[in-house]
Structure 1
Amino acid sequence: MSNIYQAMAEVMRDVEAIGKDQKNQQQGFKFRGIDDVYNAVHPIFAKHGVFTVPTLLAERTEERQTRNGGNLIYRILTMKYTFFASDGSNVEAVVIGEGMDSGDKGANKGMAIAHKYALLQTLCIPTEDMVDPDSETQETSTRKPTGTPSNVVRQDVQQKPERQPKPEPTTPPYDPAKAFLPKVASTTKAIITDANLIIPGLFSVRRAWNHILEICSGDKQVAKGLFEQFGAPTSDEITYDIYKAVFNAIKSPAEEPEGPELFIDDEIPFEASGAIA
């Protein structure tokens, strides 16, 4: 077994927490400085025979301006740090370091940042010591709700009226007596020609029904009523002559529909023989 894995485990066991004791003067946040990390891990690395070797993998340089118009050199470095043990076994950590400087220290700052985070992340160094769970006991109390209760209407907020659901459209009861030809004449006059008529060789009950239904703008009640008026109260009784008579009647409607007396008592005439719609 390679010594590096055992050595790194021992380093992690011995290293102590490193607090964020330094403060960024420009933005006010606290951080752990590179010197704090070195001071914490160097004696432990020496104790267990571990050391690191840096390797620059890639770098990018940009020029930026300060608020006062000054020039800054911005360096972005991709660094590989190899952790070696005494037998030559090793593990690697690849990190990115960024640094800005008005002179020639941008790369140095980027390397320091990269090394610091390679150590922190590889060794999982905590920011503060763990607190023993038995060292304190929290007394609990009834939790009080915060905010506005859901059942209380705030007076200072204008309440939007509740949206009422739209009433579902209701289909009136089927009345074949109202399925007069003038109802569809106005919508079919512009599209009906002799060429629309299905020729006898292509006739079928379903094709005839679909054709008349299309002419009636999809209104099944009207289409059923028309077939009834010309002698086909059920789909089994639709013939080519009846289909042709319905078609011609739609093309040239009379004031009152001609044909047999309507089947008023049959509310859904086509369902008796296996409705075609």
Structure 2
Amino acid sequence: MTAAAKHLTPVTLELGGKNPCYVDDDCDPQIVANRVAFFRYFNAGQTCVAPDYLLCSPEMQERLLPALQSAITRFYGDDPQSSSNLGRIINQKQFQRLRALLGCGRVAIGGQSDECDRYIAPTVLVDVQETEPVMQEEIFGPILPIMNVRGVDEAIEFINQREKPLALYAFSNSSQVVNQMLERTSSGCFAGNDGFIYMTLTSLPLGGVGHSGMGQYHGKFTFDTFSHHRSCLLCPAGLEELNKIRYPPYSDRVQQLVRWALGFQSCTLL
């Protein structure tokens, strides 16, 4: 942005961050697992709006873990490393960073890694402490920590105590719970009972005080953002007699005519 400012070049700025995903007790764990596993492990988790961590009760966690394992196996097979549908970490630096995060909490699903292949298995971590590195930085990889909360109020408090996320997700069969998450939190974008905003929304709004960036993109908004909107006025070469009213000197008669013309809201001065 500093470099662009030197040339008065407009920018669309998107910042990273940790995107919370609250899972209420009142929902189908397999449906949640399917949707969360899909957009957490898409591109090996390397998308800016992927859910970064789950918030749920201990009871829901016990129901989610086998459902997540089932979804991962269904998507990527018994050996995810051999699946053509699972990506790899972009470079060695990011691989080393992510592999270090595997030491946080306890691995409940996955956890395998292969440095030569830059492979990290779709992983779920439990018993994670909020002070651990995996909860202090954007993960941007196929690792999903689960934090336990007692309900929607505690989840909202947890979210609001931290930096405003780029994306926020909530799963519940209760529209009241989803609406509470929407109305009592702030985020760049929000999805109830689904996710993958990156693919499903036509525009990702990023502007506003406290949001993660500024501007917007996707769909038509991408075209508008990166287009130069130039004001154009096209006039006929003739009709100069009508234009004379614009030119000085401004006699009393001309001023009266201008005041009269401006008194009509539909009037357009040439």
Fold match by TM threshold 0.5: no
Shorter-chain TM-score range: under 0.3
Return the structure number with greater relative CO, CA threshold 8 A, min gap 6. Answer: 2
